Amino acid sequence: MNCSYDKNLLYKAQTSMAHMLDTAVAIYGYELEDYYDMFLNSTYSLRFERGESSVIAGMSGHELAHAVISEYKSIDLHDYVFTVDRSCEYWIGWSLSFYQWESSKSFRYINELVPISDMYSMYPKYHEMDISQFVDRVDEIDHDRRKQAFKRLRQYAGISQRELADRTGIPLRTIQQYEQGQKNLAHARADVVVKLSKALYCRVEDIV
């Protein structure tokens, strides 16, 4: 598995993201969805997911929250108020940063899979579970999304499953298994994915 950055930075990344979201809501008074949209459109989102130590290890989550807001308006750095209790926003940040690290998917793509506002509804079930349960659930959502996307691309191209099989030399049954989710295109051989993308007139990344 190709993770986003060195595992030695992971705990600090999770802590930083958790404190960032908690601070944005509890101290700066933002709605989580509004603040997270600012984060996604800031310079810090890409730098964080790349594992830049100056962002992950070089500042606290409290400082990161302020830095993101400061890209949009001038604001004083508020005092950080430490609490023992962990908020829902804290868990969301902790879980998001772990999933991003393990999957190497961008925060923006993850937000398309599970909008951050929807993560509130995941909190009651998953916050006391092992983090792997959360990872499995988001992976499942991603798999379903890609499965549906593959079928839509074939339909947009105006060809049947049989025609796609004939054009690519890929067995009809395999095409059907990809559309039904019995096989995962993300695990397919590179030549198979390339053949499908050419036949469907799309990019490789559109189907995997």
Confidence of residue 85 (pLDDT cuts 50, 70, 90): low
Q: How many C-beta atoms surround the C-beta of residue 4 within 10 A? A: 20
| Summary mean pLDDT of the chain | 91
* Spatial CA neighbour of 87 closest among 39, 12, 27, 45: 27
pLDDT at 16: 96
**What is the model's pTM?**
0.78
Residue (of 38, 105, 93) closest to 66 by Cα position: 38
**What sign does the CA torsion over 154, 158, 164, 167 have?**
negative
Q: What is the pLDDT of residues 119-155, one digit of tens each?
A: 999 999 999 999 999 999 999 998 888 878 888 899 9
Q: Identify the pLDDT of residue 128.
A: 92
1 pLDDT above the threshold of 70: no
- In CATH terms, 139-206 corresponds, of 2.60.40.2300, 1.25.40.10, 1.10.3720.10, 1.10.260.40, to 1.10.260.40
Q: What is the per-residue pLDDT across 165-191, written as a single tens digit (0 to 9) for each?
A: 999 999 999 999 988 888 888 788 889
User: Domain boundaries in the chain?
Assistant: 7-128, 139-206
